Amino acid sequence: MASMIFSDCSSSTTAHLLPLDRMRTSVFGFRQSVSLHSRVKKFSLSFGTQRKHLSSTVTVAMATVTNANVIDGKSIAKQVRDEITSEISRMKSAINVVPGLAVILVGDRKDSSTYVRNKKKACEAVGINSYEVHLPEDSTESEVLKSILNFNDDPSVHGILVQLPLPSHMNEENVLNAVSIEKDVDGFHPLNIGRLAMRGREPLFVPCTPKGCIELLHRYGVEIKGKRAVVIGRSNIVGMPAALLLQREDATVSIVHSRTKNPDEITRQADIIISAVGQPNMVRGSWIKPGAVIIDVGINPVEDTKNPRGYRLVGDVCYEDACKIAAAVTPVPGGVGPMTIAMLLSNTLISAKRAHNFK
């Protein structure tokens, strides 16, 4: 996660900055907004011919002022978890199999322990059995590999996660490569990524965060085919697989990274933006095409003296600007974050179904 810095949206000078009174209406009014139609001035394209979970259509608006739809990752993630719960109970009744997820944690990092605890809780809530091996910080790489191999051979385990980062004396690549590709529910194995990149090949698992981004677009009925998409960030775990997924869905994809010249100009061409950078409020209003759909993956702590914790979390995208210019945007927190764990559960269920040939 990016180090904590102060970066406030309101300090931006964007072409779309509104007077304060209008900004307040926009910022506080959008949550009630269900339909864009009453708010846009005119429109050109339409996203969302098959929206399943919203009563209205997300319209790509050529509007000067609009209140964006909030893409509610929290509620979509709950829907996904409910679907997983009912599938697991159907599977248990039919073949008496319950999916199992194993997590390997090395060391005592507080953040890693919290992530592992949250994953275990999420497993319990949907009926997935969870297994954990917790090794001390000074364990050897071969001890970690031994735990992985045990889980690879255990038929009650359908997914294996190695909590990152590993202690610096271990080779992360060696460790991740030891996870059986059939149980690689994180989708980080080079074979899975390779298949994701190749036409006509199917990965066994898609990495959870990018899969969550695409799931949000699908469930909000955002049409991807033929649209211009810009992914900001090219990491192995988010940006690169997100770009591959969008391309598989027939979007025309550009990738913006730290060496890209004029990233604002490129991003402004996008109908769909996925940002995974780790820079608070980097994407300003002037980067956003009116009516674009924005998926903000970034999670950045910024100083906030009014908050009892002394900080708050913001995304890569200036949310206030996005609310005025975009057709739809994910909030931070409450957007992509909840989807990541939901997709991990989904991958574990997929793995168990595949192992037992359960349709």
User: CA-CA distance, 51 to 63, in Å (whole number)?
Assistant: 22
In whole angstroms, how close is the CB of 150 to ligand NDP at the nearest point?
28
CB nearer to ligand NDP: give 2 or 176. Answer: 2
Of 72, 184, 186, 271, the active-site residue reads: 186
Name which of 215, 155, 191 is nearest 346 in CA terms.
215
Rule CB under 6 A: choose which of 14, 69, 209, 348 binds ligand NDP. Answer: 209
Would you give the binding string for ligand NDP spanning residues 166-205, x where CB under 6 A is met? ----------------------------------------
Tell me, yes or no, if 121 is annotated catalytic: no
CB nearer to ligand NDP: give 17 or 344. Answer: 344
* Residue 314, φ and ψ in degrees, nearest 5: -130, 165
Would you give the binding string for ligand NDP spanning residues 218-247, x where CB under 6 A is met? --------------xxxx-xxx--------
CB nearer to ligand NDP: give 273 or 336. Answer: 336
The verdict on whether omega for the bond into residue 301 sits within 30 degrees of 0, i.e. cis, is no
Question: Does 2 help bind ligand NDP (rule: CB under 6 A)?
Answer: yes
In whole angstroms, how close is the CB of 11 to ligand NDP at the nearest point?
17
User: CA-CA distance, 186 to 90, in Å (whole number)?
Assistant: 24
Angular region, 297: left φ>0, alpha ψ -120 to 50, beta rest: alpha
In whole angstroms, how close is the CB of 287 to ligand NDP at the nearest point?
11
Rule CB under 6 A: choose which of 248, 257, 312, 356 binds ligand NDP. Answer: 257
The verdict on whether omega for the bond into residue 99 sits within 30 degrees of 0, i.e. cis, is no
CB nearer to ligand NDP: give 48 or 239. Answer: 239
User: CA-CA distance, 152 to 167, in Å (whole number)?
Assistant: 22
Name which of 183, 191, 229, 228 is nearest 210 in CA terms.
229
User: CA-CA distance, 238 to 218, in Å (whole number)?
Assistant: 18
User: CA-CA distance, 313 to 302, in Å (whole number)?
Assistant: 6
Give the length of the chain: 359
In whole angstroms, how close is the CB of 316 to ligand NDP at the nearest point?
7
Question: Does 86 help bind ligand NDP (rule: CB under 6 A)?
Answer: no
Would you give the binding string for ligand NDP spanning residues 93-112, x where CB under 6 A is met? --------------------
User: CA-CA distance, 271 to 259, in Å (whole number)?
Assistant: 22
Question: Does 217 help bind ligand NDP (rule: CB under 6 A)?
Answer: no
CB nearer to ligand NDP: give 157 or 175. Answer: 175
Q: Which of residues 290-349 bind ligand NDP (CB under 6 A)?
A: 297-300, 336-337, 340
Tell me, yes or no, if 186 is annotated catalytic: yes
Name which of 70, 1, 75, 98 is nearest 345 in CA terms.
98
Question: Does 150 help bind ligand NDP (rule: CB under 6 A)?
Answer: no
Q: In the chain, how many H helices and how many E strands?
A: 11, 13
Q: Are 244 and 194 in contact (CB under 8 A)?
A: no
In whole angstroms, how close is the CB of 173 to ligand NDP at the nearest point?
15
User: CA-CA distance, 147 to 48, in Å (whole number)?
Assistant: 45
The residues annotated as belonging to the active site are 119, 163, 186
Site residues, ligand NDP (CB under 6 A): 1-2, 209, 232-235, 237-239, 256-260, 263, 276-279, 297-300, 336-337, 340
